[in-house]
């Protein structure tokens, strides 16, 4: 799969690396948020995903054993190219994802909602995302809950920068 690359990708990646968060230990506070999101959304998987050069790395993950996946199969890399979030009600019907190994095989992604996590300078660093193995629509209330949880994550991740 080809994927979008932001026009300011170098600055975005510098902002991500300046956090020194990639490949660090899990954070209890982030795990509490992803557990709460998983319970609210009743989803199969919930992640805090950070988009690096060639991979997405999961700072927090619920019900997924992998700690990262290649960026070229990442739904989240598409999400960070949006203005605020990405909703995919049925990945098998979306040309960007229908051929993905994550759709055709484990974890058999069907529905996805990802809220962009931004640095204090506004760079799109990753997402809070919920993933389903069946198609699903998302209400305005769902999007608002995902937005609120995403803001909580940004506060935790960036608190040491303020």
Instruction: Report the pLDDT value the prediction gives residue 2, as an integer from 0 to 100.
Output: 78
Q: Check pLDDT > 90 for residue 158.
A: no
Q: Residue 4 domain-assigned?
A: no
* Residue 3 belongs to a domain: no
Phi, psi of 102 (to 5 degrees): -80, -15
Structure tokens at 70: 């290649």
pLDDT at 1 over 60: no
Give the tens place of pLDDT for each residue, 35-93.
999 999 999 999 999 999 999 999 999 999 999 999 999 999 999 999 999 999 999 99
The boundaries of the domain holding residue 133 are 9-161
Whether residue 1 lies inside any domain: the answer is no
Within-domain flag for 38: yes
Instruction: Indicate which CATH number applies to the domain containing 30.
Output: 3.30.450.40
- The pLDDT value recorded for residue 160 is 59
| 149 assigned to some structural domain | yes
Q: Who wins on pLDDT, 92 or 159?
A: 92
Model confidence at 162, in pLDDT bands (50, 70, 90)?
A: very low
What is the 3-state secondary structure of the chain? CCCCCCCCHHHHHHHHHHCCCCCCCCCHHHHHHHHHHHHHHCCCEEEEEEECCCEEEEEEEECCCCCEEEHHHCHHHHHCCCCCEEEECCHHHCCCCCCCHHHHCCCCCCEEEEEEEECCCCCEEEEEEEEECCCCCCCHHHHHHHHHHHHHHHHHHHHHHC
Residue 80 lies in a domain: yes
pTM for the complete prediction? 0.95
128 within domain boundaries: yes
Mean predicted lDDT score pLDDT of the chain: 95
Domain count, the chain: 1
2 domain-assigned? no
């Amino acid at each position: 799969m080809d994927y979008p690359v932001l026009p300011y990708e170098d600055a975005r990646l510098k902002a991500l690396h300046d956090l020194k968060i990639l490949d660090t230990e899990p954070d209890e506070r982030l795990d509490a948020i992803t557990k709460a999101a998983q319970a609210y959304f009743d989803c199969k998987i919930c992640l805090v995903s950070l988009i690096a050069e060639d991979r997405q790395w999961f700072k927090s993950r619920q019900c997924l054993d992998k700690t990262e996946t290649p960026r070229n199969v990442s739904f989240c890399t598409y999400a960070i190219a949006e203005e605020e979030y990405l909703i995919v009600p049925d990945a098998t019907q979306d040309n960007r994802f229908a051929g993905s190994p994550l759709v055709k095989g484990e974890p058999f992604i069907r529905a996805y909602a990802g809220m962009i996590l931004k640095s204090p300078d506004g760079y799109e660093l990753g997402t809070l995302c919920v993933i389903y193995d069946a198609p699903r629509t998302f209400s305005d209330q769902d999007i608002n809950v995902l937005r609120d949880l995403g803001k909580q994550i940004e506060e935790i991740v960036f608190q040491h920068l303020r």
